[in-house]
Structure 1
Amino acid sequence: MTTTNKIALVTGGSRGLGKNMALQLAQKGTDIIITYNSNKTAADEVVAAVQQLGRKAAALQLNTGDIKSFDAFCTALSSTLQSTFNASRFDFLINNAGIGMHALIADTSEEVFDELNNIHFKGVFFLTQKTLPLMNDGGRIINLSSGLARFSMPGFAAYGAMKAGIETLTRYMAKELGSRGIAANVVAPGAIETDFGGGRVRDNADMNKMVASITALGRAGVPDDIGGVVAFLCSEEGRWVNGQRIEVSGGMNL
């Protein structure tokens, strides 16, 4: 028997924006599966927090840049769906996992470029491909982009270009998966106070002040600014939003 509760898979859900997305989805009644790269303790804390909200939850280890591991991950995902959720499929895929890297074009090594590409573009493409057979028709895909795909700041060329690629890919997902009733959208955060990129926005007062100065609403973002938008896109109220890029930046560089 398949559960009637909706189930979301949030990659990189053990901290930062992914954690906030998981908790806000849970608050709206969604069961949660998160992935984590290395910090199982933090992932277990998110699972416990989701369970405190009365929802089912599980955490699975996944390096989203290791494409060869995706088949084994999908096997583990299928098993977890059965054992924890009494389900064979999930509903919402949130491709959130990412790393930050700041380097000028002249200083970017091929190794760093490839790691960024595997996590932020190639991994998103193939994780979506591999998990589609486990997704319910009528589901949602939310891909994370960045304000840096719209405006340019020195040091983010590779990252911003890959996020721009994600935005185009998302429109293709929306087009190709529409026959299954699956909507695909992009959420593009601005600069957010998390540990992303070594905590540049959160911990560097000058960086934080600079971000505030170019943001119409006059401050840097916080995780609570983002998770609710993702939850909305996965809600019944968000069902007719498809193939769209929603920037959640407080109005950066308008």
Structure 2
Amino acid sequence: MTRIALVTGANRGLGRAAAIALGQKNIRVVASSREGTTDVVEEIEAAGGEAIALRLDVGDPAMIEAGRAALLAAIERQWDAASIDILINNAGVGLFAPLGAITADDFDTTFAINVRGPLLLTQALLPHLAEGARVVNVSSSLSRHSSPATSVYAASKKALEAMTRSLALELGPQGIRMNSIAPGPTATDFNGGAMRDDEGMRDALSQQTALGRVGDPEEIADAIVALISEELRWVTGERIEASGGALM
């Protein structure tokens, strides 16, 4: 049976790469973001996969409920399905600032999208997760090591990992596996594309990784595909870091 995956934040970066990688594995993809994902769907379909686009803002609780209803209507219409098999909670925001410049709005926005969003979306979709479903929450290597001006972002990702472990225990009796994946420095457009476009930053970060370079989004996507595979069916409640050995 062909599985169905929902990927949040699929319009760019790691989410886009994950959606494309899942499509290449004969998994039907619901590519969601608050900005639209039509081009991602077209790329998946051009490669022979199946995908649909969904507008979803995980930072807005009302949009999560509306997105749930739209998702169920779309998969029923497109694939005559009533449940999904894979949920990739990738949508996130990085608001980086030193202590003196952090605002209450920065904190609230970061935790609303990076922590509350995955929690409420998983909660909303729980009745519609197929038996043996897989959930992957995208964290960050910054939950393990430290960098200046990342306190709020790192705290949100650490909270996401704690939530992942707790929910893995709670949902395990239903056969649902939940894990977090923690990417290290990766060349995407996240944080204004700094790790992709700033050669000086790339060089500095490369010197801090065991493999001597920053990662590519496709490498994180491959790790996500591996984590939801049958080969790792006995893995749940774990944090898997894909960082090339950053700051070991």
* Bucket of the pairwise TM-score, normalised by the shorter protein: over 0.9
Residue of structure 1 equivalent to 2:194:
200
Off by >6 Å, runs of 4+ in structure 1: none
Counterpart in 2 of 1:16? 13
SS in 2 for 1:177: helix
SS of 1:12's partner is coil
Aligned mate of 1:112, from 102, 106, 109: 106
| Contact 1:56-1:85 at 8 Å conserved across structures | no
Q: Supply the distance in 2 between the matched residues of 1:28 and 1:181 (Cα, whole angstroms).
A: 22
For the residue of structure 2 that corresponds to 1:136, the secondary structure is strand
TM-score normalised to the size of structure 2?
Answer: 0.98
- Judge conservation of contact 2:179–2:237 (CA < 8 Å) in 1: yes
Question: Structure 2: which amino acid aligns with 1:192?
Answer: T
Report deviation, 1:124.
1.1
Kindly provide the amino acid, as one letter, of the partner of residue 128 in structure 1. Answer: T
Distance 1:205 1:54 in 2: 35
CA deviation digits over 1:34-81, x for unaligned, max 9?
A: 11112x3xx111111211232221111111111122111111011011
Aligned to 1:85: 79
**Structure 2 spans left out of the alignment, 5+ residues:** none
Q: Indicate if the aligned counterparts of 1:5 and 1:30 stay in contact, CA closer than 8 A.
A: yes
- Residue aligning to 1:96: 90
- The one-letter code of the counterpart of 1:206 is G
Question: Post-superposition shift, 1:212?
Answer: 0.3
1:181 aligns with 2:163: no
Take 2:75 and 2:128, find their aligned partners in 1: how far apart are those partners?
A: 9
Aligned to 1:221: 215
Is the contact made by 2:96 and 2:152 (CA closer than 8 Å) also made in structure 1?
no
Answering whether residue 148 of structure 2 is matched by residue 151 of structure 1, we say no
What residue in structure 2 maps to residue 190 of structure 1?
A: 184
Structure 2 CA distance, aligned partners of 1:70 and 1:23? 23
Q: How far apart are residue 85 of structure 1 and its match?
A: 1.6
- Structure 1 equivalent of residue 224 of structure 2: 230
**Aligned twin of 2:3:** 6
1:241 corresponding residue in structure 2: 235
Aligned to 1:26: 23
Matched, 1:48 2:46: no
SS in 2 for 1:199: helix
Give unmatched runs, 5+ long, in structure 1. Answer: none
The answer on whether the counterparts of 2:8 and 2:88 sit within 8 Å (CA) in structure 1 is yes
Q: What is the alpha-carbon root mean square deviation over aligned residues?
A: 1.0
**Number of residue pairs aligned between Structure 1 and Structure 2:** 248
* Separation in structure 2 between the aligned mates of residue 60 and residue 231 of structure 1, nearest angstrom: 21
Contact 2:23/2:51 (<8 A) preserved = no
2:160 to 161, 166, 174: 166
Distance in 2, Cα, partners of 1:224 & 1:237: 20
Normalising by structure 1, report the TM-score. 0.95
